[in-house]
Chains A and B, each alone.
Chain A
Amino acid sequence: MRLLVVEDEPRISEIIKAALERAEFAVDTVRLRADAREALANTAYDAAILDLGLPDGDGLNLLAELRPAGSRIPILILTARDAVEDRVLGLDAGADDYLVKPFAMSELVARTKALLRRPGAALGTTLKAGNIVFDTIGRDVSVAGVPLQLPRREAAILEHLLRRQGRVVPKSVLEEKLYGIDDELESNAVPVHVHHLRRKLQDAAASAEIHTVRGVGYLLAETKG
């Protein structure tokens, strides 16, 4: 899996590269916007990490060129300006996610993996959290290598929580997912399915668990060891 890092600060660039390489990505780094444009044109990267403040111009402009030109490469922007407006601008211009400096390298790696798990992105076939593995093609679930049988609706919920792991998935979003399977949805269908799913994961000694954020939704996170 090949990533492009566009960052002008050599030390940061170096550290990002080291962290991503430890996570077994292949990483190219460039300093300038112009170099980034060229690299993206010549190589099929799976994702790009883009700093907004570059010596030859704003990273936002690069985004604004890429998206209308039809590129769907997942992009994570980095910014030192935490003015929230900047983040919003970045997302509006077509970025998939953002991180505000200073950030933890573990966070950067986790976000990058999440980007690649998005539908249509490179990591689309297997989803992992702790010892849970979900094959999106065969739709098989295993915990610690042992296959786990799940009803369709519970599998759908688990898939979505895995795709957005570490983030809260609103209950309404899960309800929408279930509508596709089941036209007559009980008002408490989602909590009931989540309850069963949680029990099954616990019984299988999964190292990730589903947390409830009451009034908002659910979140799947690896259990702290």
Chain B
Amino acid sequence: MSFGQFRSLQVRLAVRLAVLYVAAAAIAVGVLVYQVYDTAGSLNDRELGLRAEDLARALVADGTGQPRLDLPAKLAAAYAAAPEDDLFAIRDTNGRVIAASPDEFGERVAKWPPATDEPSYFRLSGAGSEDFGSETYYGLSVALQTAAGPMWISVARTEGSDALIRSILREFVVNAIWVSPLLMLATLAIGIFAIRNGLKPVREVSRMAASIGPDATSVRLPEQDLPTEIMPLVASINHALDRLEKGFAVQREFTANAAHELRTPLAIINSALETMDGNSELEKLRTDVARMNRLVEQLLRVARLDSVALEFGTVDLNKVASLAVAAMAPWAIAQGKAIAFAGTEWPVNVKANVHALEDALRNLIENAVAHAPAGTEVTVTVDRAGRIDVADRGRGVPRKDRENIFKRFWRGAGEKKEGAGLGLAIVSEIMRAHRGSVSVAENPGGGAVFTLSFPPLQTGDSKIARRYIAGDAA
């Protein structure tokens, strides 16, 4: 229950962390891509600027003082190699075109406004024109000082010429998109792991808290290794437990005191009545006192079960059951009933509290003997599977009463006076504390069978049992 709540907290934290991480990663990638594109753009700008300067250096004044472009052979070859990719146009300060490649570009540039010292950038669409095809160009115009005086120089190149850079960028972005789900999963996994790990002490504490109950009041939650946020909560729970335990201790003490206080006067009344010579009134009084005795006994047993923790050990059901039969036999025989025990050849070990188990068996045997017709036998049988049956030949328990008989103070109609109606409630409490159960069924051939069932045997025991069967068969 509490585990499920933890898990949801974990998942919630992990999902939030992952979302945060993905958003951060997206922003980082975005900034990176922008930066790269930006850098690519300015690289392009510098390249164009350098070209403009190269052209400016190649400008000379001829004899008449007229400006003339004298391109070095290499540069001239380069421009000639791809005239439709790399364009240039040079104008003098009157706007007259001095040189251009191709001429068409010169014609266009001629219509442009004057260039300034600061480079101005342009984008040029060649759509429809013969020379430029459908290319888009990017370029700059700048006014530069040359050997032939100040000149306006415009250079441009096709936009596609930075394709390499762009394809590298595109690949980077695609990779980033493809990798991010993986990264997201990885962060989720790491997040869940880290959170689970971090919450481990909390889970530990909640597991321990679940074990606290009236039979285990001494449990305290560990305060080490806890996140500081939870520490105050755990500390105050521990304080509350201290107070609770004290309350239980007071209750226990009260029970013990009540036992002493009630029993002594009862013992006095009892023995005084015993020594009196009586008429029928005295006989009735004795029955009443016997009933009161019984009620006090059973009430105190209930109180003790409610408040005292049981200590468990390994117990052989054969041993406890045969001792219980031996202890009850004198009483049963005095009632004119027989009692018998049938055990198994090998020990049937279970985890149990011997005294509680004795109590449970005694209550079942008392009931069986009380309901058995005179001269019949009550049998207590131990079964290899960890069960004890107490069977009688009485009137049995009607199907409709089978749930009720285990309730406190419930008694069958027409029961004799002495009972308190607590016996079977005590038995089922005891079996609950043993993680076992008590049930009632019809005894084949008439009567009732009450069965105490204990949780499955430890592997060691069943191994022995199996070996025994195997040995038997051989």
Q: Determine the distance from Cα of A170 to Cα of B329 in the docked complex, in whole angstroms.
A: 12
Assess whether A103 is interfacial by the CB under 8 Å rule: yes
Return the CB mask of A149-181 against B: 1 if under 8 Å, else 0. Answer: 000000000000000001110100000000000
* Centre residue among B272, B300, B354 by max chain A CB count within 10 A: B272
Q: Determine the distance from Cα of A39 to Cα of B270 in the docked complex, in whole angstroms.
A: 29
- Which A residues touch B354, using CB under 8 A? 84
Assess whether A182 is interfacial by the CB under 8 Å rule: no
Check A213 against B326 for contact (C-beta < 8 Å): yes
Q: Determine the distance from Cα of A146 to Cα of B268 in the docked complex, in whole angstroms.
A: 42
- Which B residues touch A84, using CB under 8 A? 354-355, 358
Q: Determine the distance from Cα of A170 to Cα of B274 in the docked complex, in whole angstroms.
A: 32
Check B342 against A105 for contact (C-beta < 8 Å): no
Check A213 against B339 for contact (C-beta < 8 Å): yes
Check A102 against B340 for contact (C-beta < 8 Å): no
Q: Which of chain B's residues 366-403 have a Cβ closer than 8 Å to chain A?
A: 377, 379
Check B333 against A101 for contact (C-beta < 8 Å): no
Check B268 against A221 for contact (C-beta < 8 Å): no
Size category of the binding interface on chain B: 35 or more
Contacts A80-B263, A168-B330 hold; do A105 and B271 have CB atoms under 8 A apart? yes
Check A217 against B274 for contact (C-beta < 8 Å): no
Count: A-B pairs, CB below 8 Å: 101
Check A106 against B340 for contact (C-beta < 8 Å): no
Check B274 against A104 for contact (C-beta < 8 Å): yes
Q: Which of chain B's residues 285-342 have a Cβ closer than 8 Å to chain A?
A: 293, 297, 300, 304, 322, 325-327, 329-330, 333-334, 338-342
Q: Nearest residue in B to A209 (C-beta to C-beta)?
A: B333
Q: Determine the distance from Cα of A105 to Cα of B343 in the docked complex, in whole angstroms.
A: 35
Per DSSP, are chain B's interface residues mostly helix, strand or loop, or mixed? helix
Q: Determine the distance from Cα of A24 to Cα of B130 in the docked complex, in whole angstroms.
A: 148
Assess whether B457 is interfacial by the CB under 8 Å rule: no
Check A216 against B322 for contact (C-beta < 8 Å): yes
Check B270 against A216 for contact (C-beta < 8 Å): no
* Stretch in contact with the other chain, from A8-16, A28-36, A40-48, A115-123: A8-16
Check A80 against B260 for contact (C-beta < 8 Å): yes
- Which A residues touch B272, using CB under 8 A? 15
Contacts A214-B341, A214-B377 hold; do A219 and B267 have CB atoms under 8 A apart? no
Q: Determine the distance from Cα of A18 to Cα of B276 in the docked complex, in whole angstroms.
A: 12
Chain A nearest CB from B288 CB (Å) reads 14
Q: Determine the distance from Cα of A216 to Cα of B319 in the docked complex, in whole angstroms.
A: 11
List 4 other contacts, CB 8 Å, given A12-B268, A215-B340, A216-B329.
A12-B264, A80-B264, A82-B300, A105-B271
Residues in chain A within 8 A of chain B (CB atoms): 9, 11-12, 15-16, 18-19, 53, 80-85, 101-106, 166-168, 170, 211-217, 219, 221, 224
Residues in chain B within 8 A of chain A (CB atoms): 256, 259-260, 263-264, 266-268, 270-272, 274-275, 293, 297, 300, 304, 322, 325-327, 329-330, 333-334, 338-343, 354-355, 358, 377, 379
